């Protein structure tokens, strides 16, 4: 602790830690050990968590207050294979793909911190391919339901609110996955070119991983609340 005398003759006390904090901020040094990009991603994911929470809460409220019977998701999302209706088979495959993509993304982060450019880039591209497959399957799911007459304002299977909640929640999540695919490809390209070797900033791979794991986790909640309930 140090004593300083102000212009009016009074003394003020400053702790050395406070002085160092002010000095770090003033010369634009990294005050905290967490990189700014990672901190900003956590803040973004927190805000996105609130949005998805509002969506799922609204869905549960609408479903519980709907006047008409809510459609049986096992029947609505069933696929006919070899003459048999298999419930939720496409949704199960989509869920498996996203869970698998979390594993490949985790390995990419691991190899990233080892500065293994080739394996990191390849694993990120594999993760992006999983994500693109998921979006393609979701597009097929949308096309199937639209062809069966499901709209945001109407639904032949029961409660009209089903269509609006389905397209809103799955569409918003699908948008996140699509953005994530582009994001992963962009980061993988920079990894492969060696841009992060020059700046020693492989934490950007981890930041991309945080986003992707969040997208996967949100889908688990959508799968549980929307398709299994």
Phi, psi of 132 (to 5 degrees): -65, -35
Contact 127, 110 (CB under 8 A): no
The reply to whether 4 and 56 lie within a common domain is no
The reply to whether 91 and 174 lie within a common domain is yes
Number of domains composing the chain: 2
Please tell me whether residues 25 and 45 are part of one structural domain: no
The answer to whether residues 21 and 116 belong to one domain is no
Q: Is 104 found in the same domain as 82? A: yes
Beta strands in the chain (DSSP E): 2-5, 11-14, 79-81, 84-86
Tens-place pLDDT, residues 41-71: 999 999 999 999 999 999 999 999 998 999 9
Same domain for 22 and 101, yes or no, is: no
Q: Which residues pair with 5 in a beta bridge?
A: 11
Residues 27 and 63 occupy one common structural domain: no
Give the per-residue pLDDT at 88. 94
In this structure, the answer to whether residues 41 and 13 fall within a common structural domain is no
> Average pLDDT for residues 23-29, to the nearest whole number?
53
Q: Are residues 78 and 147 in the same domain?
A: yes
Handedness of CA 108, 110, 111, 112 (dihedral sign): positive
pLDDT band for position 126 (50/70/90)? Answer: very high
Pairing of strands 11-14, 2-5: antiparallel
State the Rg of the chain over Cα.
24
What pTM does this model have?
Answer: 0.84
Instruction: Specify whether 63 is located in the same domain as 117.
Output: yes
Q: Say whether both 193 and 164 belong to one domain.
A: yes
Q: Containing domain of residue 2, as a range?
A: 1-31
CA distance 180 to 212: 6
Per-residue pLDDT at 22 exceeds 90? no
Judge if 15 and 103 occupy the same domain. Answer: no
């Amino acid at each position: 602790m140090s004593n300083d005398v102000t212009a009016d003759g009074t003394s003020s006390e400053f702790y050395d830690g406070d002085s160092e904090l002010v000095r770090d901020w003033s010369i634009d040094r990294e005050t905290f050990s967490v990189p700014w990009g990672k901190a900003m991603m956590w803040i973004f994911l927190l805000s996105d968590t609130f949005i998805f929470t509002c969506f799922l809460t609204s869905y549960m409220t609408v479903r519980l207050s709907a006047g008409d019977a809510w459609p049986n998701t096992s029947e609505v999302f069933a696929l006919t294979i070899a003459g048999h209706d298999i419930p939720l088979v496409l949704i199960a495959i989509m869920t498996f793909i996203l869970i698998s993509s979390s594993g490949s993304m985790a390995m990419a982060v691991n190899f990233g911190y080892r500065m293994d450019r080739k394996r990191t880039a390849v694993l990120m591209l594999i993760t992006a391919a999983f994500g693109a497959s998921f979006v393609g399957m979701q597009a097929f799911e949308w096309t199937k339901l639209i062809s069966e007459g499901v709209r945001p304002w109407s639904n032949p299977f029961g409660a009209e609110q089903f269509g609006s909640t389905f397209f809103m929640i799955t569409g918003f999540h699908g948008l996140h996955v699509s953005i994530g695919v582009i994001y992963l490809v962009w980061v993988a390209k920079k990894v492969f070119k060696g841009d992060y070797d020059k700046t020693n900033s492989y934490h950007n791979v981890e930041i991309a991983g945080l986003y992707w794991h969040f997208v996967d986790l949100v889908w688990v909640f959508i799968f549980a609340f929307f398709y299994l309930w």
